[in-house]
Amino acid sequence: MKAFGVYFFFFLSTFLFSNAFAQPLRVGVSSVGASMSSLWVTKERGFFEKQGLRVDLIYVAGGKAIPALLAGDITFSVSAGNSFLAAVMGGADLVMIAGLINKMPYQLYVRPDISTPNELKGKKIAIAAFGVSSDFAARIGLIGLGLNPAKDVVLIQLGGSASRVSALTAGSVDGTIVSGPPHTTYLEKLGFKKIFDLVRSKEEFQFTGVVVNRKLIHERRSLIESFLRSIVEGTQFYKNNAAFVENVLEKNLRLNDKEVLKAGYQFYSDLFEAKPYVTRKGLQFIIEELKRAGQLSKAVDLDRVVDNQFVKKLDDEGLFRRLYQ
């Protein structure tokens, strides 16, 4: 018993010491929604602390993430691919080092009385804004249905998902782009129909990725490796521990609907990349969409702004093989 007490005291002292001196790290996230839930789980389960990092996840709204990153107020930013490219075109010396979600997590829900793509002609479809992910998703999905987004429908800019869903249920629009639960579950309960689902598409799209100031790559390589290792291990845990993740979703989203929480887990568990390589094809897709919309202010050299060396190092070490064997 005495030996156990000595061992326990040593273990507790070591744990407290390591946490007291863990490296403080501010990480900017571009959303308070479940698209950031792999980070919530990584933090709550202690994978950051395991690597000696004391992480604070800071919500940074809209276009404020990039200035915060450049000013050193945050060390890493988890940002949308289009926001990253806009910053690069604006002259920011940034690099994307990991891709967390590499496809479009969007669906189009329409009024219950609409059953075919042809019935969408002349209808109003809600998106967040022109030139952002939901706009790209709407256009790609409509083209896939055989419609011309510029001629066959009217795209309405209505901001966030909650505003768009409210507009659909109120009858102000005929359809809206949404991204998974809880909105999809809510709309289905009310009888609204899903007319396309881009999650099932094979199209690569850089929805979210980890962005850093270029100088961090030269000055803090070990920090980057530790941060990405934490995320990789946290993501593997996420994909294999539904009950824990649903509890984290419940706490962070302030939801207690078990059906929604279960649906949310299933949706995002499939989305998060096990091997978080940046998808160059997915970024090029965004570049082409910006070009089509006349919003490509300057050429982007993907060789300069994408760096997969850190993920590749983890891959070469056999980390993914060990985690997913």
Q: What is the DSSP code (8-state) at residue 158? A: -
Q: What long-range pairs does 319-325 form, CB within 8 A, spacing at least 24?
A: 319/229, 319/232, 320/232, 320/274, 320/275, 323/232, 323/233, 323/236, 323/274, 324/236, 324/274
Number of domains in the chain: 2
Q: Which structural domain range is residue 154 located in?
A: 107-200
Q: Are residues 89 and 158 in the same domain?
A: no
Q: Are residues 84 and 112 in the same domain?
A: no
- pLDDT for position 13: 46
Last residue of a domain, one of 181, 200, 219: 200
Strand 124-127 with 154-157, pairing: parallel
Strand 76-80 with 23-29, pairing: parallel
Q: Copy the structure tokens of residue 183.
A: 């909105």
Strand 107-110 with 76-80, pairing: unpaired
90/86 Cα distance (integer angstroms): 6
Q: What is the largest CA-CA distance in the chain?
A: 80
Residue among 246, 245, 229 at smallest CA distance from 318: 229
Instruction: State the average pLDDT for the chain.
Output: 90
Last residue of a domain, one of 200, 228, 262: 200
Q: Are residues 210 and 92 in the same domain?
A: yes
Q: Are residues 191 and 209 in the same domain?
A: no
Q: Given a cut of 60, is residue 15 above it in pLDDT?
A: no
pLDDT digits (tens, 9 = 90+) for 139-173: 989 999 999 999 999 999 999 888 999 999 999 99
- pLDDT for position 23: 65
Q: Copy the structure tokens of residue 230.
A: 């934490």
> Alpha-carbon torsion 171, 138, 101, 197, what sign?
positive
Q: Given a cut of 80, is residue 213 above it in pLDDT?
A: yes
Q: Given a cut of 60, is residue 5 above it in pLDDT?
A: no
Q: Are residues 58 and 15 in the same domain?
A: yes
What is the residue type of 175?
Answer: G
What CATH number does residue 117 fall under?
3.40.190.10
- More reliable by pLDDT, 232 or 6: 232
Last residue of a domain, one of 200, 234, 254: 200
pLDDT confidence tier of residue 22, bands split at 50, 70 and 90: low
Q: Are residues 81 and 133 in the same domain?
A: no
Q: Are residues 223 and 299 in the same domain?
A: yes
Q: Are residues 228 and 193 in the same domain?
A: no
Residue 307 makes CB contacts below 8 A (sequence gap 6+) with 95, 96, 97, 217, 278
User: What value does the mean pLDDT take over residues 110-124?
Assistant: 96
Q: Copy the structure tokens of residue 27.
A: 């990480």
136/134 Cα distance (integer angstroms): 5
